Amino acid sequence: MMPIEMTERSNPNAQQDESAVAAVRGGDAERYRELVERHERRVYAVAWSRLGDAALAEEVTQEAFIRAYRRLWLLGDGAKFSGWVNTIARRVAINFGLRHRRELNKRERWALETFDDSSADNAAPEADPLHTPETLRQTLAELPAAHRECLVLFYLEGKSGAEAAAALGISEAALRVRLHRARAAMRERLEEKLEGSLTQLRPAKSIVPAVMAGVLATSSAKAATAGGIGATLTAALAKIGLAKWLLPLGSLISFAFILPGLLASWLFAQLELKNFRDQKGFRAQLFRSHLRSRVAFIIVAVAAGVVIVLIFEQLIAKNMFPDLNSRFSFWWVMVLFCSLWIPFSVRQLTLVRNPYFIAQVGGQIMTAGACLAVALNLWLPQWVMVCIFGQSLLAMPFYGQRPVRMDYNLFLRALEKLLSNPAAQLADTQCSRDEMLAFARFLGTRWLANHFGWTAGGLRLRLPSPDFGQWTSWVDLTINFLWQGRSQIILNANGSVSAQLGEKDIRALQTLRGSALIPRTELEAEVAMSVAVAWKHFREKSFADAERSLGQEADSAVFVAPPSVGGTAKVRWLIGVLMVLMIAINLPLFKSQFSNALSGSLHHLQRATTQIDHADTAEKRFYALGDAAKENFAAGKIELARAYAVELMGLIPKYTNNWNDGNAVQDANLVLGRIAVREGRIAEAKKYLTASSQSHGSATLDSFGPNMSLALDLLKKGERDVVLEHFMRCRKFWKFHPEKLDGWIQEVLAGKTPDFGANLLY
């Protein structure tokens, strides 16, 4: 026997598949039509065998081919496309079965009730030649006797579980197990029969147009290639053993890629730790403790993320959140998430003027803006990653000013005898708000204060916690804005300072030192005096003396090498160079996609014009005129759009039985109606809208629904009644998503204008 690999490649269909897949990956999306035409009947058979419902099987078939196109870059060997797309169809069918469980509940018995001869005589003939009593009888006869007996007793003779178990001499639990296995065996046999009888089982209409419409409407014709070096690398990995099974698992497996990042973070932390001069000192001790806590937190967070993904996948499978996967909803959630803490971060800039923190806030605003641009469909998602890379690059020169010393709590410095508190004459000095705020910024820029609030007599500053460091700085600055239990100092208008040690910091300091603290009042007095002396030096412009009073040791006393060049500095710059190279390599693709996103109509107009130019027969023009009319209208070429629409209208009677007839009726009336609205002929536009819904449907219209651009134009003119009638007429062919029509009807009745989303593009 020849090896499987050689057998597959010797198959002419496999060779054609390999050629088509290579062409699609190379950017020729139209070649995907060949794959759909060659395999639609087999994929439909797989879907039907799982669902037993023709309408759902057609929807699954379309969805399977569209998903296969989007993931084509994951297919290692193009010659294996047939088996691969069948596997996708099985998974999609399973999900559809879960979503439509109520509708398919009666089919759980595979229509075994039709075996009853008394009812068979009166039954209407089965429309599907494969789903007949004779086929089911033959399949049942092929099952092992044990499986056949339990199915006959339970289903045909209508015995209860207890009665059937007693008749077979087994327990009810054993009967349930046997029934489960018998149903699975029969389902597999039926599927084999269906897959082997493609000449008898096929969709009612070709799904090729619907699939190609979905492919071209939902991608920039680059989805199959996934763009850039990353796609080439992943496609290569997809050919290697276990990787080809792991890569398609998507979101769940993506959590596994956090593990290398976790390892890299741990290795970087070890380099940072080695940069401390005193490896047994309190700073290194705090750093190690903080590192252990961080690793534990990431592990718990990853585990929680996996659980959440699994739960949401089950909820989605049960159709509890039908719009959860929509790009629109996802990116608005991202905008909300990224923007949630921006007000707190911006307020902290009043106090914390550290360059690293400023760069972080700027990056946060940049990322939120990028997500907003994607949500508004102005940018493509890839540009969010570009912004994240850009944020990291902008912050990189200031990494040396991150809070890595671990000694930013003034009470901790007092316990470690770092505060300089020489005898000083402190005279009462009236200070303005601006002067108090200037000293507060002096403290905040050095991470010694992270929140502020005005009181009747001065300025209250919250101190960072004793474990404040590079991993808690952002949280401590932007999220934990409460004062209860936290240490604070108050700058009074007369130049005096008072300090208060918080309960939370007391517990943290006791844990760190492992022994009782010196009396609280003494600590508070020492910190207050040191801050007061520092404030005096600050007013005198003696900034170095002010830092010494606060225990701010030089970097050379704390680190082997300054943080800007020691620790992970060299590695960070290497990563920065790699990020710049990655952006540079992918920039042409991003630029092209960005240009298409901002002028998408131009991209589609060029394609529509090319199709018209190559349409050398009346039938080919009939297929190309709809897109040409719509795209020219979108581009502002009104007269050309009118000419194409009129020509299409004239060809419709000649092709009334053509698969594209329904699309042509919609497109011609749509364009002529929109032109009428543009020219102020509203009554005529209403007639065109009514005529557009006289379409008997098509594979595209039945699946994705009608184009609502003309309906939107008329709603803006206040013509609600004709639009409501249009919605009702569309029900006759758009049966897959009646909930959308119901929602739009309710919004129009409430005086609102619906968000038609993608139905403005189809």
pLDDT digits (tens, 9 = 90+) for 635-659: 788 999 999 999 999 998 888 888 7
**315 confidence band (pLDDT: 50, 70, 90):** low
- Cα(618)–Cα(469) distance, rounded to whole angstroms? 73
Sign of CA dihedral 338, 340, 341, 343: positive
- Cα(401)–Cα(389) distance, rounded to whole angstroms? 20
pLDDT digits (tens, 9 = 90+) for 598-646: 444 455 666 777 788 888 888 888 888 988 888 888 878 899 999 999 9
Global pTM reads 0.50
Tell me the two tokens of residue 628: 């040409």
CATH 1.10.1740.10 residue ranges of the chain are: 4-106+204-249
Candidate ranges 100-109, 242-251, 338-347; pick with highest mean pLDDT: 338-347
- Cα(671)–Cα(676) distance, rounded to whole angstroms? 9
491 bridge partner residues? 459, 497
Whose CA is closest to 248, among 96, 389, 90? 90
Asked which of 148-152, 345-349, 524-528 is least confident by mean pLDDT, the reply is 148-152
- Three-class SS state of 497: strand
Instruction: State mean pLDDT over 385-409.
Output: 80
pLDDT digits (tens, 9 = 90+) for 266-296: 777 888 888 899 998 888 888 888 888 777 7
* Angle at 384 (CA atoms; ends 378, 386), nearest 5 degrees: 115
- Cα(87)–Cα(82) distance, rounded to whole angstroms? 9
- 143's CB contacts (< 8 A; 6+ apart) are 151, 182, 185, 186, 189
- Cα(550)–Cα(534) distance, rounded to whole angstroms? 7
Q: Give the pLDDT of residue 675.
A: 94
Amino acid at 643: A
Q: Is the separation of the CB atoms in 675 and 642 below 8 Å? A: yes
Q: Is the separation of the CB atoms in 418 and 407 below 8 Å? A: yes
Residue whose entry in the numeric block shows the structure tokens 């009334």: 656
Q: Give the pLDDT of residue 202.
A: 65
Q: Find the Cα–Cα–Cα–Cα dihedral 556, 560, 562, 563, rounded to 10°.
A: -130
CATH 1.10.10 is held by the domain 599-760: no
| SS3 sequence of 169-195 | CCCHHHHHHHHHHHHHHHHHHHHHHHH
Question: Which ranges in 652-719 belong to alpha helices (H)?
Answer: 661-678, 682-692, 699-704, 709-716
- Cα(548)–Cα(419) distance, rounded to whole angstroms? 7
Domain covering 131-195: architecture: Orthogonal Bundle (1.10)
Tell me the two tokens of residue 368: 């939120």
Q: Is the separation of the CB atoms in 699 and 206 below 8 Å? A: yes
Instruction: State mean pLDDT over 671-698.
Output: 88
Tell me the two tokens of residue 393: 């690059």
530 — phi, psi (to 5°)? Answer: -65, -40
CATH 1.25.40 residue ranges of the chain are: 599-760
Tell me the two tokens of residue 703: 């699946």
Angle (deg, nearest 10), helices 32-51 and 208-217: 110
- Cα(367)–Cα(390) distance, rounded to whole angstroms? 10
Whose CA is closest to 318, among 5, 136, 99? 99
**Residue with the larger pLDDT of the pair 5 and 135:** 135
Asked whether the predicted pLDDT for residue 475 surpasses 70, the reply is: no
Buried b (16+ CB within 10 A) or exposed e, 72-104: bbbbbbbbbbbebbbebbbebbebbbebeeeeb
Domain covering 4-106+204-249: architecture: Orthogonal Bundle (1.10)
Q: Give the pLDDT of residue 341.
A: 79
Instruction: State mean pLDDT over 239-254.
Output: 45
Q: Give the pLDDT of residue 484.
A: 74
CATH 1.10.10.10 residue ranges of the chain are: 131-195
* Angle at 359 (CA atoms; ends 355, 363), nearest 5 degrees: 170
Q: Find the Cα–Cα–Cα–Cα dihedral 580, 583, 588, 592, rounded to 10°.
A: -150
Candidate ranges 32-41, 61-70, 431-440; pick with highest mean pLDDT: 431-440
**60 confidence band (pLDDT: 50, 70, 90):** confident
Instruction: State mean pLDDT over 186-193.
Output: 69
